[in-house]
């Protein structure tokens, strides 16, 4: 252990640093992300851009939507965020409901 004195804005601090011999410690492996429900082939996935709570679901399975239509209202950090359709198509694979909590990247629906 080595001790040093450090001066920060006129205040002197004494710090102790442990000297380690050998290889650096190995970080623990990252946890695998939660599995996402399978999407129908050929559809465009609509995912949550951030963690939050679904305040409203404005679409249903089989409903036709146009690019820019508001599909969901997501509350995150006390702000309401509109999740819009990225393309024209028909909603399929709706995988969330009003009041549910979602993580970042969670599948909300598929537009095919």
DSSP letters for 2-50: EEEEEEETTEEEEEEE----SSPPPPPPPPPPPP-PPPPTTPEEEE-SS
Instruction: Give the number of domains in the chain.
Output: 1
What's the pLDDT tens digit per position in 25-52? 555 555 544 444 444 456 899 999 999 9
Is residue 92 domain-resident? yes
What is the span of the domain harbouring residue 90? 44-111
Mean pLDDT of 8-15: 84
CATH of the domain at 69: 2.40.50.100
Query: Residue 33's pLDDT is what?
Result: 47
Mean pLDDT of 73-100: 91
Report the sign of the C-alpha dihedral through residues 89, 90, 94, 98, in that order. positive
User: What is the overall mean pLDDT for the chain?
Assistant: 83
Q: What is the pTM of this model?
A: 0.61
Instruction: Give dist(CA 81, CA 74) in Å, integer.
Output: 5
Residue with tokens 């709706």: 94
Is residue 90 domain-resident? yes
Is residue 66 domain-resident? yes
Query: Residue 56's pLDDT is what?
Result: 94
Lowest mean pLDDT among 18-22, 51-55, 108-112: 18-22
Query: Residue 58's pLDDT is what?
Result: 94
Is residue 29 domain-resident? no
Query: Residue 24's pLDDT is what?
Result: 56
Is residue 12 domain-resident? no
Lowest mean pLDDT among 39-53, 75-89, 90-104: 39-53
Is residue 23 domain-resident? no
Is residue 38 domain-resident? no
């Amino acid at each position: 252990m080595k001790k040093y004195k450090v001066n920060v804005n006129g205040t002197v601090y004494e710090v102790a640093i442990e000297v380690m011999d050998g290889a650096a410690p190995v970080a623990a492996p990252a946890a695998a992300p939660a599995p996402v429900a399978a999407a129908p082939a050929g559809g465009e996935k609509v995912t949550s851009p951030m963690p939050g709570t679904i305040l409203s679901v404005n679409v249903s399975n089989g409903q036709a939507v146009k690019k820019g239509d508001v599909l969901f209202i997501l509350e995150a950090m006390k702000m309401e965020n509109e999740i819009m359709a990225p393309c024209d198509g028909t909603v399929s694979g709706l995988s969330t409901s009003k009041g549910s909590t979602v993580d970042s990247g969670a599948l909300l629906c598929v537009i095919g």
